[in-house]
Structure 1
Amino acid sequence: MNVPASTAPQVPPQHEGGDPADPPRPRERSTRGADTRALTQVLFGQLKGLEPGSAEHDRVRGALIEANLPLVRYAAARFRSRNEPMEDVVQVGTIGLINAIDRFDPDRGVQFPTFAMPTVVGEIKRYFRDNVRTVHVPRRLHELWVQVNGATEDLTTAHGRSPTTAEIAERLRIAEDEVLACIEAGRSYHATSLEAAQEGDGLPGLLDRLGYEDPALAGVEHRDLVRHLLVQLPEREQRILMLRYYSNLTQSQISQELGVSQMHVSRLLARSFARLRSANRIEA
């Protein structure tokens, strides 16, 4: 929300001298934060005596929003890993800031940043949950992922490295499988197109990496059917079929192998085929 420069109370500059792009020193940040808190307290004192909807009320309310935008940016920075435009996250957080300003009661003795931060963060989380995700995960996993993410940040700061799954699980007193499930759920914000190219790994799209239809797959059912039918034949007829179609012997070679005439082998094959056709559950 833009507030006219002639009417809005001026927020103290971030730091004096030097390149404005240079980050402020810790002492400067502390001083600026104290000035912002003091200004916020004064503005809330003014806002309390004004009629809601009046021009003066809107002016002071706008000044409060401008003065506390750094709080929104600080909260939005926690969500940089979500690959969402930071401007959009800040705008959503600003909605939470406005709601906090409208509900804040300075007489309760609570500092405004302490009161506003949960509202700002909650508004941003709601935005990610309801508007950004195209892949919805169970609410329990989503809420647990927030704890896993916080524990990861704390352990990284404490150990100077990324924590292991076991360390995160021990910190939160949950199973490692739950930690892995939470991490997977936390990353599941968008469905990836099968035709989208994979960035960074140099591999083709997912569609090109999927399995293909095996032409021999239909043979699995046929082999199972043949095995089922063969066991219904007498042992000698089973052997004749095996010699004919698995060993690729001719009827003459089979007759020599079994010591019977070729005509008898031919009759046994014909009888076996008739039995197999009558027992074939597919043709039946």
Structure 2
Amino acid sequence: MLTTATPRHLRFDRAHDSPDTAATFAHLAGLDEGPERELLREEVVEAWLPVAHRIARSFRDKGESIEDLRQVAAVGLLKAVNNYDPQQGPFESYAIPTIRGELRRHFRDHMWDVHVPSRVQGLRNTVHLARQELAQQPGGCEEPSIGAIAAHSGLTEDEVRDGLKAINGFSALSLDAGLLPVDDLGYNLVDVLGALDSAYDIVIDREAAKTGLERLPERERSILYMRFFEDLTQSRIAEKFGISQMHVSRLIHDSCMRVREEASPDRGRAEGDQAA
């Protein structure tokens, strides 16, 4: 486990909490992987932990416990130590952005996926902290009751319920999430989500057009049937009714406009204006 004990040969800059580890890193750069290199690396990490913890504290008001933030910052510090090249400049200028980046990445991956009112976020944080404190008490349980949380936090039970809902909604469920803890069939959430069905739109359109068709004169209904269901040409329809092909074209256009007007008045008027 990482501690904050600092090796004696590593000294601190008195102006701040950044230790002087330049010589140690220079020594590390010349070592192959092995016990000595691992020991020096651990010493550097231990020396820089106070800096990592200080950076973690700057994120403490964002809804995560300070212990969790320290762990995330420690991960960032380890990455910085492992990837640092002394030729790039002082370690501090590399480590601090790396640690901050790790903390920001943590919040990016775990923060709210939708906008949530600040009041609800506050309830979530209060309830989350109360649950942790109750669980750490002697004889405490990991899932304290709503009443216990309310008494401990000073919230009402309704506020606790809102906070619990917010905790459960802290992040969105991945579409790749399995449906069961053990899913032999390999189905994910995305496999069972509904999708738009074009056939549904066809049914809606037919039902919407039915009233308009019923209100057309019999001749116009027959012409539409011949044109769109029997697939007859306008010339052939004109022969059957003893009228001109141009007249048939006009009747089809006017009849379609009337049906559209019945199905969707706004759409019918808009298309009528365009035709005009």
TM tier, smaller: 0.3 to 0.5
Structure-1-length-normalised TM-score: 0.40
Structure of greater Rg: 1
